[in-house]
Amino acid sequence: MAILMSPSVSCDSQMLNCTDFCVVCGDKAIGKHYGAVACNGCKGFFRRSVWQNLQYTCRFNKQCNIDKDHRNACRYCRFQKCLADGMKPEAIQNERDRIGSTKRRKRSIGAVDNVSDYERTPSPKAPQDVGNTTASRRLIEVLMDIENRLVSNQSMTALLRDGQELSSRQRAVNHLIGWTSMLHPLPDIPLGDKGLLLKEAGPSFSLVSILQRSYSLSHLVLPNDQLLSLSSIQQPELHRAVSRILDELLTPLRRIHADQAEFSCLKALILLSPDNVGMSASSKDKLKEARDALLKALFTYLSQTFAPLDASLRISSLLMIIPAVVSISLSIINDPTLSEIFGMGERSKKDDQCKADGSQIENVVSDNMKAATDAIMAQLMANQQLLLNISSGSPPSSSPNILQPYQPYLPATTMSYFNNPSQPVKVFLS
């Protein structure tokens, strides 16, 4: 949309020397606009924000640094700094009133404000756009709710097991099953395709869970709550794996200040990967449709806080991390010692001692794993009733109310899937 400068506003602008700088971001100023000395970018940003009545939110502590290089990182803090440094919204309203009756004529002949594509914001939202924004935010919140419920359930399970501990592998499998049972369209794809997908995505998914738990710490937190510090590691292979996790995964995520919503989306993107050899075309189409819907929702969600280009760059950063996640997870499951430490290995004697009700689950884990990528999903594939149970039931018409009190409906172990008659909530991305 072309934005026009009123002649009177131009007359009010003071042309400054090259040494004068914008009071908002410190860039080279072009004059006094709306009550403050400002650069072209901050002038246009402030005008669009007021004209379109845009509402911003800060993802941090509302004290973001606003300078020439980081002014697009947080639009909330940038707008607040515009106000604090003297820019007056009423000056824009007066300009709008002067332009109003001749806006269409001026649009065809007026000069377009010189605002870079990097700083452009969308035009005012139509009702449908507002609805899409609400739906996108709702979808992201529900994905976060899945994670929160699973974490809460694991904590409750630990209190009810009478001192028995689940191994890293058991916890990783339970966490994966919980997501799989709620993320559309995974409950509805054929059993064979589901098995292929889970075998392929399981290790990467579990590694992202470790990243999420370790994000704000100086060490790694394993699925069984054990801590792994790089400085205390003696084994070369383990040291190499942890170094790669820190350098190739955690460092980039920390650099962009990834939040819990982005971690939840990263997990969902891994599970919704349609690039799986041997999967049926119909399942690939369903996964691709759901993945595309999630990416659109994530972009809309991030665009509420970041400029459009910044939102796109954040999504690109998340997508670029996935190949490294896959590479590192494969290196882990190809090493028996590492796979056991990170919860991606074969069943141990300790696993056999941890039963939900003391009964035996026959043939839960394959004794001969022919492929290393089968490690985390061996328990599922050896007893296909587990997978069949995940896909049973018809999907509800709506996602869960995330404001309702927490109900521990998710399984303490995979044994719960045999006897739990209630259907877990599923998340719909499209």
Q: Please report, for the chain, the start and end positions of each structural domain, with discontinuous segments joined by +.
A: 7-119, 128-419
Q: What is the 3-state secondary structure (H, E, C) of 88-153?
A: CHHHHHHHHHHHHHHHHHHHHHCCCCCCCHHHCCCCCCCHHHHHHHHHHHHHHHHHHHHHHHHHHH
Q: Please tell me the least confidently modeled range out of 285-299, 334-348, 395-409.
A: 395-409
Q: Are 242 and 325 in contact (CB under 8 A)?
A: no
Q: Is the pLDDT of residue 77 over 60?
A: yes
Q: Is the pLDDT of residue 39 over 80?
A: yes
Rounded to whole angstroms, the Cα distance separating 124 from 49 reads: 10
SS3 430: coil
pLDDT score recorded for residue 277:
80
Q: Which residue has the higher pLDDT, 166 or 394?
A: 166
Q: What is the pLDDT of residues 226-279, one digit of tens each?
A: 888 888 898 999 999 999 999 999 999 999 999 888 999 999 999 998 888 888
pLDDT score recorded for residue 136:
78
Q: Is the pLDDT of residue 394 over 80?
A: no
- Of 346, 354, 355, the closest CA to residue 376 belongs to 346
Could you tell me what percent of the chain has a pLDDT over 70? 62
The pTM (predicted TM-score) of the whole model is 0.53
Mean pLDDT of the 63-70 span: 87
Q: Is the pLDDT of residue 381 over 80?
A: no
pLDDT score recorded for residue 251:
93
pLDDT score recorded for residue 58:
85
Distance of CA 70 to the CA centre of its chain: 22
Q: Which CATH number fits domain 128-419: 3.30.930.10, 1.10.730.10, 1.10.565.10, 2.60.40.10?
A: 1.10.565.10
**Residue 318: band (very low, low, confident or very high) from pLDDT cuts 50, 70, 90:** very high
Q: Which residue has the higher pLDDT, 182 or 165?
A: 182
Q: Is the pLDDT of residue 362 over 70?
A: no
Mean pLDDT of the 283-303 span: 91
**Residue 317: band (very low, low, confident or very high) from pLDDT cuts 50, 70, 90:** very high
Phi first, then psi, for residue 25 (nearest 5°) are: -120, -10
Q: Please tell me the least confidently modeled range out of 80-84, 274-278, 384-388.
A: 384-388
Q: Please tell me the least confidently modeled range out of 43-52, 146-155, 328-337, 351-360.
A: 351-360
pLDDT score recorded for residue 99:
46
**Residue 356: band (very low, low, confident or very high) from pLDDT cuts 50, 70, 90:** very low
pLDDT score recorded for residue 321:
93
Tokens representing 10 are: 């131009």
SS3 345: coil
SS3 427: strand
The mean of the pLDDT values for the chain is 69
Is 7-119 assigned to CATH 3.30.50.10? yes
Phi first, then psi, for residue 227 (nearest 5°) are: -100, 145
Mean pLDDT of the 294-305 span: 89
